[in-house]
Structure formats: C-alpha cells, structure tokens
Amino acid sequence: MKLQHLAIIFVIIILPISMVVTSYIQTQIDTISVQTTYSSKLQNATYDAIKAFQLNTINNRYSSVSDSKIRDIEASISTFFNSIGTKMGMDGIDQDALREYVPAMLYVMYDGYYIYGKYRNESTDSYQYGLKPYIYYSCRYIKGADDFVVNYSLDNAITIYGTVDGQYVTKSGYLINPNLVSNINETDKTLTYDGETIEKEVLSEQIVLLNEAGEVINTNSPVDYQYIVYQNAKIYYDPTATDGMNYFWYTANKKQKIYDQNILNYVQSMTIGGNLYSESAFQYYKQAYEFSTWVEEHLGNITQSDARDMNGDVISDFAVNTGEEKIFRLNNTNNPLLDGSTFNENRISVIRRSIQTNLATAIANYNQGGNQNYEFVLPVFTEEDWDKIVNNITVASFLQGIPIGSKFFNNYCIITNDKNEEVVTEDSLYIITQDGEVHLPTCKTITNSTVTGVYSNVTFERQSIHISDTYEVHYYPHANSKCYDCMVNVSETYDIDGLISGTITVFDPTQTGNQTINMKGTSLRKQYLAALGRERYDLYRTNDYFGV
C-alpha cells in the first residue's frame, strides 16, 4: 500500500477521534467554569443570608424571643433566595425555579436547629416550602432505673428531664468543675473560682437617645450609661435625671421609665455609692456550682454506652467514642469549659449525630416532591465543616441537581455567625484595655495589661438608628479602636483554653522556643472569667428551669 493511502486512512480515522476528544475537553472546561461560578454565587448568597440574620439580631433587642427569632430566620432565607436568584438570573435561572434545586437550608441555633425545605401539607395534600419544627440537641440515657433525656447546647448549658433515682426531674443549668469554686459569700455576692475573685461589677455602654418627636436629644453623641440585666433585658441608670426617675428601659431608642416598684426596689438595692452593680457573674458561678454538684452526684456514672436511640437501642455511631469515660464526672480532666473534656466530646457528638440524621432524612424526603430527574442526598461534611457547625450559630445551604454540561451541579456552603445574641462562646468576648484599645482575649500583647472592661463582641458592632429617609445616626456601644495584630493576624494569639485553665503558651522570638506564662491572678483572666459567666447568665433562655 502506498504511503499516500496510509496517510489518507490515518486522517480518516484520527480526525473524527480528535474532534470528539476536543469537543469532550471543551465541554469539561465549560462545565468546570460553570461549576466554579455557581459555587461562588452559592457562597455569596449564603453569606448574604447569615449577614442578614446577624444584622437583624444585633439591631433587634427581642431577637432571642422565639417568634422574633423565626421572623429573623425567614427574613434571612428570603435574602438567600433573592441574592442567589439575582446572581444566577443572569444565567437564565430565576428565583422560583431555583427553589427546586435547594433541598434544604440548615440554621444552627443555641440549643437546637431549624431545617428549611419542602414538606407535605396533609391538610391540602400538597408540598410547600417552610421551616420545619425546631429540633433540640437531645440524647436519651438509660442506666438501671434511670431513664432521662439531656438537651445540649452550643456551650456548657444542659437541660435534664426524665426519671433520675426514681423521681421525675426537670433541671437546667451550666456545668463547670465544682471543685474550683470556694468561699461563696451570699451577703457580699462574692466567690472564688480557680483562685480568681468573682464579685459584683459596674457595667456601662453608650447609647443614643431620642425624644418623643424622634429627635436626637444627646447632641448626636452617645452617652455612657451604667446598666444591669434584669430578666434578660437591660435596665439603665441615669443619676442626672431631674425628675427622680433614674432607671429606664431602652425601647425604640427612647427612655421608657420604670414605675414597677418591685423592679425599682431591686435596682435600687444594686445601686451603691452612686454606681449600679451587676451580680450576674456571681450568680452564674454560684448556680453552676450548685447544678454541677447535683449532676455529678446523680449522673456521675453515666457513660456513652448508656446513650439510646428512639428505639431504645444502644447508639454506636457517635463521631467520637469516649468509651467508659464518665460524661458528667466533673473534675480537672473533665472541665466543661475546656474543649477537650469528655463532656464536650459527647456534647459535640450528640449535636453532630442529630443534625446529620435529620438533615439526611430531610434531603432524602425531598426526592418525593422535588425534581425527579435527580436524586438529592446529603453530602459528606469535612471535619472543618463540623467544627464550624457545632461551635457557633451557622447557616448551611445546599444547591443540587442543576444540569451543567455533562453533569449536575452539586455543592453546599457553610458560614458561621460569630457575632450574635444566641450564644457566648469562649472566644466571642472582646477586651478593653486601659488605653481604650479593643483586643481578642487571646491577644499576646495584653497578657500583663490592665483590663478596664470585657463584653460580648456583639456590643462592639455599629448600631444604627433610622431618623428619616435621608438621616441615620450611627454609634458604638463600646470602643471601636481594635487591635490590628490580634484581629487580623491569628499568629498573634494563643489558645483560649490556656487562659481559662490559667497557663498559656506563646512563641517568644527572643528565646529558642515557646514561653509558658502563668495567667492566674492577672487582671485579664479575672475579668475574662467574670465576663464569660456574666454574659452567659444574662442570655435569654427558652425555659425557666435554670437554677432550680
């Protein structure tokens, strides 16, 4: 056969193959490009949703109340669909059509979570979108005659209900290591926690006041007022009031004077020497000590092997197996305030299992009323994903089943909200030093500084007051001069557990390695521990069993 004939045959065979391969490669490139674009838009929309929730809760002083919380979440969901609909509308997909590709959205709250998705309305025999009932982070334990349920939270608070020692109990409280509490003085409201004196505090923040006409009455400049939290609401103290009405609520940016004599008697009893004192930190550690002592006495032998599912069977699929370690035997090696404690390992495992089980069910059930051309499934979360979910208020969104080239788009996004009024985590407090600068509690530059105040990071966010369509007033309740090094550069911080336990380890460039610093007795540790207790004690709680 002539060479020319072989060349012709080669071209006839190779050319179609080359064209097919080229087309396939281009399709894959286009698919990856679209997939990357969609992932970016999903992330941006989820960020918009969590930001909307954060802004609503920060500027809504009733955001912890159940009905208000649901409205904030529904507004956040609306923001998500408006955002992703606008962003992906450019690709020919409108907002209503996108709902068919969102099998679920997860809103992780303080003591439970909401799942948004499609569910069957039995009264109308149709599918509709909405929030499903609130699910608590619960685990049932059975040991001998004891049969009870523990509701966990994102911090060290639990609720217990069921049969314990032959009696039905309902108790809530914060768990700490009770061995660290001593010298409780009910008269002076002082005690000692791990060597640090916890006592009454003077708290203050800046607010802007409006008159009845809606005009700013403190010359556009916020005024510093002392306050305490009474039944989860702040009462402010104005010693300069000319009418003798020195105490007020801050409602709709106006003074709401207090006339209830019982409330007045209480706040007047807390006003000493011209200062209004908060006893919340003392009450937190005192009540936590009493509750922890009861829990250790009655539940001290409970282990993970006593956990049961809804059918009464032993649960064997926890993320972390703690074996026969005692969950509620509280001591130096099992301090609920520290991350690596047995209590926290089990708390996190319960939260993970609950969310994974119910979210997988919700997404799987979506197939019954969703797009039948695609099977919706729960993706596998990474450990980094779970670390976000179990430690703070979180929104997780899922986008699946959108045809892109030769495959379907399938992705999810998880974004946390570390500034909220739902939970006070160990690292969500800001430190004000004597020079007026604001730091994270783990900033290496303030280990020996004089601390003048410690408050929740929410109160360092800018507040807005809408005066008219063309005029808004903005102010900060606390100082806003933040330390660049610790806020931006994580290498300038140390582990928060070190501050809580009393010994931190920092890198010292002037020496050959790490330096160990004893933090016990320092201004920073004392005020941090007091603030952690105070801010948690003052949170809105959904039940009335705390301290019982």
The whole-angstrom separation of Cα 297 and Cα 275 is: 40
For the beta carbon of residue 21, count every other beta carbon within 10 angstroms: 10
> Rounded to whole angstroms, what are the CA distances from 415 to 81, 103, 133, 389?
16, 18, 22, 8
> Residue 92's pLDDT band (boundaries 50, 70, 90)?
low
Please report which helix (H) or strand (E) contains residue 149, including its range. strand 146-152
| Residue of higher predicted confidence among 547 and 320 | 320
The whole-angstrom separation of Cα 145 and Cα 157 is: 25
Query: Which range has the worst mean pLDDT, 107-121, 137-151, 278-292, 505-519?
Result: 505-519
The whole-angstrom separation of Cα 366 and Cα 132 is: 13
Render pLDDT for 183-214 as a digit per residue (tens, 0 to 9).
Answer: 999 999 999 999 999 999 999 999 998 888 88
3-state secondary structure at position 400:
strand
Report the DSSP pairing between strands 223-230 and 393-404: unpaired
Render pLDDT for 455-479 as a digit per residue (tens, 0 to 9).
Answer: 999 899 888 888 877 788 888 899 8
Q: Which of 432, 347, 370 is nearest to 150 (CA)?
A: 347
Q: Which of 227, 222, 268 is nearest to 245 (CA)?
A: 268
The CA R_g of the chain, rounded to the nearest whole Å, is 28
Largest CA distance in the chain: 115
Per-residue confidence (pLDDT) for residue 484, from 0 to 100: 84
Amino acid at 381: F
The whole-angstrom separation of Cα 53 and Cα 422 is: 11
> What are 359's two structure tokens?
């979210």
Question: In sequence order, what are the residues at sequence separation of 6 or more whose Cβ sits closer than 8 angstroms to the Cβ of residue 75?
Answer: 52, 53, 56
Per-residue confidence (pLDDT) for residue 469, from 0 to 100: 75
Q: In sequence order, what DSSP letters do the residues of 459-479 get, joined into one string?
A: GGSPEEEEEETTEEEEE-SS-
The whole-angstrom separation of Cα 102 and Cα 430 is: 37
Q: How does the average pLDDT of the chain come out, rounded?
A: 86
| Residue of higher predicted confidence among 36 and 20 | 36
Please report which helix (H) or strand (E) contains residue 334, including its range. none
- Give Cα 356 to chain centroid, integer Å: 18
pLDDT for 66 beyond 90 = no
Range with top average pLDDT, 10-19, 217-226, 388-397: 388-397
> What are 346's two structure tokens?
């089990």
8 Å CB contact between 84 and 42: yes
Helix (H) and strand (E) counts for the chain? 10, 28
The whole-angstrom separation of Cα 143 and Cα 301 is: 9
> Residue 489's pLDDT band (boundaries 50, 70, 90)?
confident
Q: What is the mean pLDDT of residues 35-64?
A: 79
Per-residue confidence (pLDDT) for residue 14, from 0 to 100: 64
The whole-angstrom separation of Cα 36 and Cα 31 is: 9
Prediction pTM value = 0.88
Per-residue confidence (pLDDT) for residue 114, from 0 to 100: 96
Q: What is the mean pLDDT of residues 13-22?
A: 61
Q: What is the mean pLDDT of residues 334-351?
A: 95
Q: Which of 160, 194, 164 is nearest to 174 (CA)?
A: 160
pLDDT for 19 beyond 90 = no
